[in-house]
Structure 1
Amino acid sequence: MNETFNPERVEHLHQSLSSHSEKMTIWTQLNAQVTKGAETLHHQAEQNGLPLSPLHSWWQACYELCSGYQIKISQVEYGEEEYIVLTNHGPAILDLSHWTLISNLARPFVFPPQTHLQPGDSIRVDVQRYAALSFHHRGRLLSVSGDKLELRDNRGICVSSWVYEREATNFIVINYLSYDGQEKYTEADEFVELMNISPHWVDLSGWRLSSVRGKQVFVFAKRSKLAPFATCRVYTNHFDANTGGYSFQSPRAIWHNKGDEAQLHTAHGDMVYCYAY
């Protein structure tokens, strides 16, 4: 494959062109990448004396370009029981042979040959030595204070990454605070919007969003997470599944119209971001 045929471009397109109104631009650019890849594969096969049909070349290019994008690190457990879960969200069966899971604190885990993941299925990699798929690591592997995990394909390209606690503090910002709600008396539709400014999945488990003046604290539930370059909102007393479904569930207004400060901390108390107005 030449340098222009790279699965990381799919992630870049998703990040930079995310609205439905831009779908034609996305499709046009993806088609260009697939066509370039198909031409490369077709040419390489002819040189090796194993010519491929145009359809085979095109399908193989689609798979190589997009297969990495359909798998994600979907869960990381770093408490009493340590493990990582990968989920195949796409339409193709994935061959994970020789893919690697990388932690900052241990040698990589390499998936053995003939490791396949069906569409819609998940696979779990444990830390303990007794598991079928395991890092075979003695003692703790995933630090409770923070770590970064990467899933890399057999070409070494990072297809998914996950950060938590201290490793995530530079990646979440308070993007906007709507302190003057429209709902009379309760202002239940006030909200704080958080944004993930990184290409990593960010684990928000146990993180705390607080109002300094209003003295209210919202704690993110276990396994709360924010996708790469995504946003979520924490409402005063309103539920919106499209923005994460988070709410203080406060019967009264939280954010004072004359000024306040919103603070975001990790579960261990590290300051992530503060927003004063």
Structure 2
Amino acid sequence: MNFETRQNIANEIWLTDARSALDKVHQQIKTNTLSALPNLQNQRHAHGAIQSYWHSCFKLMAPLQVQIDFVNTLEAYEYIEIRNTGPAIIDLENWRLDLTDTGETLFTFPRNSYIKPNQAIKVEQQQSTFMFNASSPSFSRQGCQIKLFDSEGSLVSCWINGRRAHDSVIISHISHDQTSTKNEYKDHIELINLSTFWVDLSGWELCVQDGPSFIFPKMSKMEPCSELKIYADHVESGCFSFSSKTPIFNRSSKTVVLFDNNKQLVNEYHFA
């Protein structure tokens, strides 16, 4: 079960539980407060109780909804994209983005910074609504780590790329079967993200010994603690394909190597 599926299930459960809890709050207020003291002051008090309840719910759900969705490290146009994947509008006031490599805070969201459900916003180096204070390139092309913290300083999301991701991604499995009954075009290479961070795979390359290579397209990424399959010539949701008209493995293939976007070795897998 991938991250998106788990999150959708969590959202459905939350919505069901929230409606049930809200119904109970309404009933309790109506029974114990409004009926006993049916004046405007107590009605306002009841309304405030509901608002406090929803505020607590949204605050609890915010770290599960908001994530760093992409980081563009091109010097000419650096930006960080943040996405709200959940059902609630999130107040980002005093949330901040930190660059781990330098220990600096790139940006702190001001008052009245909101992100709607399914909305993506950009924090950019150039002039924009949300702009981090940097006159020169901030992100190392060799690799960087960017963290998003909420207003209380709790880590919400983390994004890594390049050398920063070397210890997080490994080649975990090779499906290679030369038997006559095997569909050789469904043979695949499997990667696993061992970390709780989002990993940017843009420009990374998989090389099969005496076989083809696969380069991950821009905005390719791995979810935290997830697996990813790259097939020989098979299309499947959430996976990639070499789109090779010939088998990616042959008799002399004994090694698969993974390089990052700077052609630096990340991991290698040897098989018989």
TM category, shorter: 0.7 to 0.9
Question: SS of 1:141's equivalent?
Answer: coil
| Aligned mates of 1:92, 1:27 — CA distance in 2 | 14
The residue aligned with 1:67 is: 62
1:178 to 175, 178, 183: 175
Aligned to 1:267: 261
Q: Give the corresponding residue for 2:108.
A: 110
Structure 1 match to 2:250: 256
* 8 A Cα contact 1:179 1:257, kept in partner: no
Q: How far is 1:62 from its partner? A: 2.4
Shift of 1:132: 3.1
Point out where structure 2 has 5 or more consecutive residues left out of the alignment. 22-44
- Paired residue for 1:276? 270
Report deviation, 1:215: 2.8
Matched length = 242
Structure 1 runs of 4+ with >4 Å offset: 17-20, 50-58, 181-186
Q: Spell out, residue by residue over 1:37-96, the C-alpha distance to the aligned partner (whole angstroms, 9 max, x if none).
A: xxxxxxxxxxxxx89987656534322221121011111111131001111111111110
Change (3 A) 1:114 1:139: same
CA distance in 2, matches of 1:181, 1:153: 51
Structure-2 residue corresponding to 1:231: 227
TM-align CA RMSD? 3.3
Asked whether the equivalents of residues 89 and 116 of structure 2 are also in contact (C-alpha less than 8 Å), the reply is yes
Alpha-carbon distance between aligned partners in 2 of 1:19 and 1:89, rounded to the nearest angstrom: 8
Q: Distance in 1 between matches of 2:251 and 2:48?
A: 66
Q: How is 1:52-131 mapped onto 2 (pairs within 5 angstroms)?
A: 58-79=53-74, 80-104=76-100, 105=102, 106-128=104-126, 130-131=127-128
User: In percent, how many aligned pairs have the same letter?
Assistant: 29
| TM-score, normalised with respect to structure 2 | 0.78
SS of 2:186's equivalent in the other structure is: coil
The 8 Å contact of residues 181 and 189 in structure 1, kept in 2 or not, is answered as no
Q: Is the alpha carbon distance of 1:194 and 1:185 closer, same or farther for their aligned partners in structure 2, counting shifts above 3 Å?
A: closer
Amino acid across the alignment from 1:171:
S
Query: Can you list the C-alpha shifts for 1:7-62, whole angstroms capped at 9, x where unaligned?
Result: xxxxxxx98x9599xx79x969xx7xxx9xxxxxxxxxxxxxx8998765653432
3-state SS of 1:62 partner: helix
Seen in structure 2, the aligned counterparts of structure 1 residues 204 and 232 have a Cα distance that, compared at 3 Å, is same
Q: Distance in 2 between matches of 1:275 and 1:144?
A: 26
**Which letter does structure 1 place at the counterpart of 2:69?**
S
- Aligned AA (2:59): E
Q: Secondary structure at 2:185's aligned position in 1?
A: coil
Amino acid at match of 2:202: S
- What are the superposed Cα offsets for residues 191-244 of structure 1, whole Å, 9 maximum, x if unpaired? 0011111111100000000111x3310000011011111111111111111x42
The 1:221/1:182 distance shift into structure 2, 3 A limit, reads: farther
Shift of 1:255: 2.0
| Counterparts of 1:160 and 1:61, CA distance in 2 | 20
* Higher mean C-alpha deviation, range 158-167 or range 102-111: 102-111
TM-score (norm 1): 0.77
Distance in 2, Cα, partners of 1:222 & 1:96: 28
1:140 aligns with 2:137: yes
